[in-house]
């Protein structure tokens, strides 16, 4: 068996290989012990789960372990998105939550995500404490468990539906009058995931026409990754064009990430969505405050925030760091290039449902397509194009390249002067004109990621190629 380790967003493994009931109970026991150590056990634990194979059964196993440790648990009555499970922590004033999900991983995977009492992704010191407890639980007999029926009788496990209060909370964050005035035509794709029924309920009374695809449980996710990328949303694009819809909206498997198709069928990248939403919130909602982005996310956020005299907080990759900025710096918006977003007033957890609702509001309020609005923003702030390239390597190569990267500090990159070198997460080189390239190793896979941003596609390719040559890896 592989060692159980919490990566960027929880522990994930292949079902029936490492992700087994015995291992799930082991992790649940470690979480129960962490809650006791942190003095949170009396506040109880929320348990949510997605639409993956056996997710509801794994969630029940976690509830039984909590009951065996005399920790009250609220068990979701149906598949529940990760951000909704996080919101339930605040609503119930619980000590944390466990979410059974592998998010956008392949269908054969499942996972466990622990969400602490502050309702955002767990920071490393918390997951390290849980991993330490796992390592100390060598004897399977150390896992304390109480059958679900008995736990319900004792009142230690209670059913809970977080959906009504979560949706009421979102309606308070939205300008619902603007949404209704827009009377948009929308095609929605929840990608067979836990987000089924959420965006529909928010929009059904506000949209002239709402078409929904893939809104039923399929543990194989149609044979695809439940990740709303441009390639995966080909059918959504077709539906948008055929229906002459204003928007195509998508969620990933646990609804914490989003995907968007504009009325012309073009895919709007998460980076583009982030800076359009920031501009909308600043210019039309009149919000003010810090903005948080990861080291790999577009610097268009910096340009826009700077124009309003607002600071930008740059964090390492991982929404757990964005969440901390939302809490400690009171950032009005936090986002990452992989499709994570949250705002002030909401939980510090990425939320695809919230993101889609804000996009609908923005398009309705502005009366323009996303591309039309983007053209306005580019006229004022210029244009930046972003891309990410994943380069596979073997484990030996990875260690060699990591050593080489530590010494990578060129004065010039291709034809351009390097203005600054940052090692906040990987190695990031910033150029005089605002272009940049970032190289960082994946924390869970034998590969390197090359992120780059430049004013045009030609320069972008040259920056990317320069970084690839340093790594010595083929695309």
Instruction: From 108, 137, 161, give the residue that closes a domain.
Output: 161
**Who's near 136: CB < 8 A, 6+ residues apart?**
none
The CATH number of residue 205's host domain is 3.40.120.10
Residues 190, 331, single domain; the answer is: yes
Instruction: From 131, 161, 191, give the residue that closes a domain.
Output: 161
Residues 371, 394, single domain; the answer is: no
Q: What are the backbone dihedrals phi and psi of residue 262, each rounded to the nearest 5 degrees, phi first? A: -80, 175
- Residue-level pLDDT at 326: 97
Residues 181, 122, single domain; the answer is: no
Q: Which of 267, 288, 97, 259 is nearest to 193 (CA)?
A: 259
Q: What is the pLDDT of residues 300-342, one digit of tens each?
A: 999 999 999 999 999 999 999 999 999 999 999 999 999 999 9
Residues 398, 449, single domain; the answer is: yes
Instruction: From 329, 348, 381, give the residue that closes a domain.
Output: 381
Whether 308 is covered by a domain: the verdict is yes
CA distance readout (Å), 373 to 71, 178, 194, 278, 377: 50, 16, 31, 12, 7
- Residue-level pLDDT at 442: 81
**Who's near 341: CB < 8 A, 6+ residues apart?**
258, 270, 273, 274, 277, 333, 334, 335, 350, 351, 352, 354, 355
Measure the CA–CA gap between 385 and 461, rounded to whole angstroms: 10
What's the sign of the alpha-carbon dihedral 337, 258, 324, 305? Answer: positive
Write out the two tokens for 379: 């006229």
Residues 328, 448, single domain; the answer is: no
The CATH number of residue 391's host domain is 3.30.310.50
Cα 63–chain centre separation:
25
Whether 3 is covered by a domain: the verdict is no
Residues 367, 390, single domain; the answer is: no
What are the E-state strand segments in 3-90? 11-14, 45-49, 73-76
Contact between residue 341 and residue 277 where contact means Cβ atoms under 8 Å apart: yes
Residues 328, 194, single domain; the answer is: yes
**Who's near 337: CB < 8 A, 6+ residues apart?**
269, 270, 271, 274, 294, 296, 297, 298, 386, 388, 451
Q: Which of 117, 102, 83 is nearest to 350 (CA)?
A: 83
How many domains, the chain? 3
Residues 126, 220, single domain; the answer is: no
- Residue-level pLDDT at 283: 97
Q: What is the pLDDT of residues 55-86, one digit of tens each?
A: 999 999 999 999 999 999 999 999 999 999 99
> Which parts of the chain register pLDDT below 70?
1, 140, 208, 444
Residues 340, 275, single domain; the answer is: yes
Q: Which long-range contacts (CB under 8 A, 24 or more apart) does 444-447 make?
A: 444/7, 444/8, 446/392, 446/393, 446/394, 446/395, 446/397, 446/398, 447/390, 447/391, 447/392, 447/393
pTM score of the predicted model: 0.96
Residues 174, 133, single domain; the answer is: no
Whether 420 is covered by a domain: the verdict is yes
Measure the CA–CA gap between 214 and 210, rounded to whole angstroms: 13
Measure the CA–CA gap between 427 and 410, rounded to whole angstroms: 11
Whether 47 is covered by a domain: the verdict is yes
Whether 5 is covered by a domain: the verdict is no
Contact between residue 124 and residue 323 where contact means Cβ atoms under 8 Å apart: no
Instruction: Quote the DSSP letter at residue 30.
Output: H
Residue 408 burial class via C-beta count within 10 angstroms: exposed 0-12, middle 13-18, buried 19 and up:
middle
Three-class DSSP category at 417 = strand
Measure the CA–CA gap between 168 and 165, rounded to whole angstroms: 5
Residues 66, 18, single domain; the answer is: yes
CA distance readout (Å), 11 to 28, 102, 214, 232: 12, 8, 27, 24
Whether 444 is covered by a domain: the verdict is yes
Contact between residue 153 and residue 68 where contact means Cβ atoms under 8 Å apart: no
Measure the CA–CA gap between 112 and 125, rounded to whole angstroms: 17
Whether 1 is covered by a domain: the verdict is no
Q: Can you give the residue range of the structural domain that contains 440? A: 385-471
Residues 392, 336, single domain; the answer is: no
What DSSP letter does each residue of 158-170 carry, written as one string?
A: EEE--HHHHHHHH
Measure the CA–CA gap between 438 and 276, rounded to whole angstroms: 23
β-pair type (312-315, 291-294)? parallel
What's the start-to-end Cα distance of the chain, in Å? Answer: 31
CA distance readout (Å), 247 to 263, 363, 368: 5, 9, 11
Whether 114 is covered by a domain: the verdict is yes
């Amino acid at each position: 068996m592989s060692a159980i380790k919490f990566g960027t967003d929880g522990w994930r493994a292949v079902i029936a290989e490492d992700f087994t009931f015995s291992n799930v109970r082991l992790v649940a026991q470690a979480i129960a012990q962490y809650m006791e150590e942190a003095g949170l056990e009396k506040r109880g634990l929320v348990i949510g789960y997605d639409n993956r194979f056996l997710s509801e059964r794994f969630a029940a196993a976690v509830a039984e372990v909590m009951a065996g440790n005399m920790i009250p648990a609220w068990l979701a009555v149906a598949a529940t998105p990760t951000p909704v499970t996080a919101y339930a922590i605040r609503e119930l004033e619980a000590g944390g939550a466990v979410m059974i999900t592998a998010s956008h991983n392949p269908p054969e995977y499942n996972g466990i995500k622990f969400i602490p009492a502050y309702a955002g992704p767990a920071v490393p010191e918390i997951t390290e404490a849980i991993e330490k407890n796992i390592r100390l639980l060598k004897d399977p007999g150390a896992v304390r468990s109480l059958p679900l029926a008995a736990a319900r009788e004792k009142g230690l496990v209670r059913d809970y539906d977080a959906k009504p209060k979560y949706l009421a909370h979102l309606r308070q964050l939205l300008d619902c009058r603007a949404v209704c005035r827009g009377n948009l035509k929308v095609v929605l794709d929840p990608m067979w995931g836990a987000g089924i029924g959420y965006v529909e309920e928010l929009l059904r009374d506000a949209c002239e026409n709402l078409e929904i695809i893939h809104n039923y449980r399929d543990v194989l996710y149609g044979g695809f990754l439940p990740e709303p990328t441009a390639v995966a949303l080909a059918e959504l694009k077709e539906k948008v064009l055929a229906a002459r819809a204003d928007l195509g909206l998508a969620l990933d498997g646990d609804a914490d990430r989003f995907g968007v198709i504009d009325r012309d069928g073009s895919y709007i990248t998460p980076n583009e969505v982030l800076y359009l939403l920031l501009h909308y919130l600043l210019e039309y909602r009149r919000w003010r405050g810090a903005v948080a982005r990861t080291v790999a996310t577009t610097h268009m956020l910096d340009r826009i925030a700077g124009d309003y005299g607002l600071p930008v907080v740059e964090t390492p990759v991982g929404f757990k760091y964005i969440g901390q900025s939302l809490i400690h710096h009171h950032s009005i918006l936090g986002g990452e290039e992989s499709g994570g977003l949250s705002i002030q007033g909401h939980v510090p957890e990425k939320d695809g449902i919230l993101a889609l609702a804000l996009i609908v509001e923005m398009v309705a309020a502005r009366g323009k397509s996303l591309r039309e609005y983007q053209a306005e923003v580019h006229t004022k702030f210029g244009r930046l194009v972003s891309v990410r390239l994943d380069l596979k390597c073997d484990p030996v190569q990875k260690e060699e390249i990591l050593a080489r990267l530590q010494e990578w500090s060129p004065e010039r990159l291709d034809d351009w002067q390097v203005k600054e070198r940052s090692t906040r997460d990987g190695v990031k080189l910033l150029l005089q004109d605002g272009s940049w390239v970032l190289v960082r190793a994946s924390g869970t896979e034998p590969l390197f990621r090359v992120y780059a941003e430049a004013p045009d596609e030609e320069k972008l390719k040259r920056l990317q190629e320069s970084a690839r040559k340093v790594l010595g890896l083929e695309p």
